[in-house]
Amino acid sequence: MGEGKPVVLLHGLFGNLSNWGHVGYEFTATHRVLIPRLPLYSTPLSVERLNDLVRYLEEFIDVHTKDKVILMGNSLGGQIAVLYAYQNPSRIDKLVLTGSSGLFENSFGGTFPRVKDYQYIREKVYNTFYKREVVTPELVDEVYETVQSRSKTLSIISLARAAQRQNVSSLLNEIYAPALLIWGLQDTITPPEVALEFHEQIPHAEIVFIDHCGHVPMMEQPKLFNKYVREFLER
């Protein structure tokens, strides 16, 4: 969508393209916005799962643009963005991370949801957000339906374990693109301390905390999120 410098938006493990709806709408007036649907359920169940997603992203970006990209990622999408930026430094203009995994993630409180328990799923989805009014019945239903599939459940477990194994701490000091970290102060999945560690290790990073906000700032506080991103991109 839109025209201008390309912005690529990466969703998380249980995320969807719609998570970026407010951001896409905001920036299509000034940028070309690209939102790939990451193939979370179709890559092989192997220790190379995150690298498979990075290769997919490399191909996606190469097909759609030859320009440097602004890369934004939430949760697992943030970790993929970090790995891409490390492996493809010449293709990155700027980096935006929000609630990114890669250093620490307390997904589902350290346990995987009981597949048949709808109320358990509902509560876990709600706990991802500080502003619970953001959570729609459709969002809960989508997560619940996802974990009803044995193959998708195995894929999610495999990705979560791969994300924990592939800690990005040793890579961050070699990411030289300007980076903006936007974090919810009430994020219980990747707590604010995680943002501070990213900030300490990425050479040219700045950090913004948003109050009354959990793990998905672009959905919970879209106006503030877009304001901070806009200011960052215009510098």
Query: What distance in Å separates the CA atoms of residue 179 and residue 202, rounded to the nearest whole number?
Result: 8
- What is the reported pLDDT for 221? 96
Domain that holds residue 140: 5-234
- What is the reported pLDDT for 46? 65
Average pLDDT of the segment spanning 176-201: 97
Q: Sign of torsion, CA 16 40 54 2?
A: negative
Average pLDDT of the segment spanning 118-138: 83
The count of domains in the chain is 1
- What is the reported pLDDT for 13? 83
Q: What is the dihedral of CA 74, 181, 35, 56, to 10 degrees?
A: -70
pLDDT, tens digit (0-9, with 9 covering 90-100), for 67-119: 999 999 999 999 999 999 999 999 999 999 999 999 986 654 444 555 567 88
Query: What distance in Å separates the CA atoms of residue 139 and residue 133, rounded to the nearest whole number?
Result: 12
CATH code of the domain containing 136: 3.40.50.1820
